[in-house]
Chains A and B, each alone.
Chain A
Amino acid sequence: MRLIRAFVILLALSGAMPLHSASAAQPQPQDEFVPLSEIPPEEQLPAAPMVIAAYAFVWVAVLVYVISLVKRLDRVEADLRALEHKDN
């Protein structure tokens, strides 16, 4: 029991520590917004996620279609086997 309590306290402390230091490092609240005509380059929409998303979508689309085709083929072939079996 004591062990658990010690653990909880330790956990709470370890949680509070970075929180405390983070609040200390926080910048001063802004009292006005400064307009800027151009976004700085490091904040512009990155291209990599777009490219990765595009390629991933193509892969997923092919996969889903192939799976659906195989499923449909299996079902029809099961029907076929059942029917042919009934004939004999």
Chain B
Amino acid sequence: MNGFLRVALLVVRKDLTVEVRSRELIYTTLFFAVACVLVFAFAFVEEGRALDDAAAGILWVSIAFSGTLALGRTFERERHAETLRALLLAPADRPALYVGKLVGILLLMALTEAVLVPLVGLLFQAPVLAYPVLLAGLLVTGTLGYAAVGTLFAAMLIRARSRDVMLPILLYPITVPVIIAGVRGTAALFQPEPNPDMALFWIALLVFFDVVFVTLSLWTFEPLMTE
């Protein structure tokens, strides 16, 4: 178990070092996320006011889209430098490699969300600070479920043809429940009369999905990544 954590941490540190040097992923993902919010703002704002529940939807769709971009780029970099093959050749637990990559993606998405949430709060008058703990709970559980499936599929797609197109095609149908739960839970907090119980219910559902998705991913990562 100790070795497991050590491998995972090493992978995270490697990814962070590469990212701190180039800062490619964080800049592109952030810019893309902000661009997403702006595009949706044009679609859902009428006479200066956003439609009901639009803020929650815009927040989560932007998270999902920028997450796809980050996942694609992260593994494209690995593929380009042939480093994933090297990682897989290393005498390390495959699930530990997966956890390492997952943590890296989660950190990147957390940074993006740290920009997106205040932005949505400002642009759509969403009360992001009314229930900070519940909102954070929704974001953490939702992002974990999304990134767990995303990391697995992006890693597997590294060898496939037309991987850029395939990632969203595979990822979105499977992660739709996570997005629905995230949007409904956040909308319950953003509505004029917030409903924390409802948000709690959606967090519980998200935790259930996280358990299913992370277990399945850890279980299938090894056979899926073996040639």
A and B in direct contact, judged by CB atoms within 8 A: no
Interfacial residues, chain A to chain B (CB-CB below 8 A): none
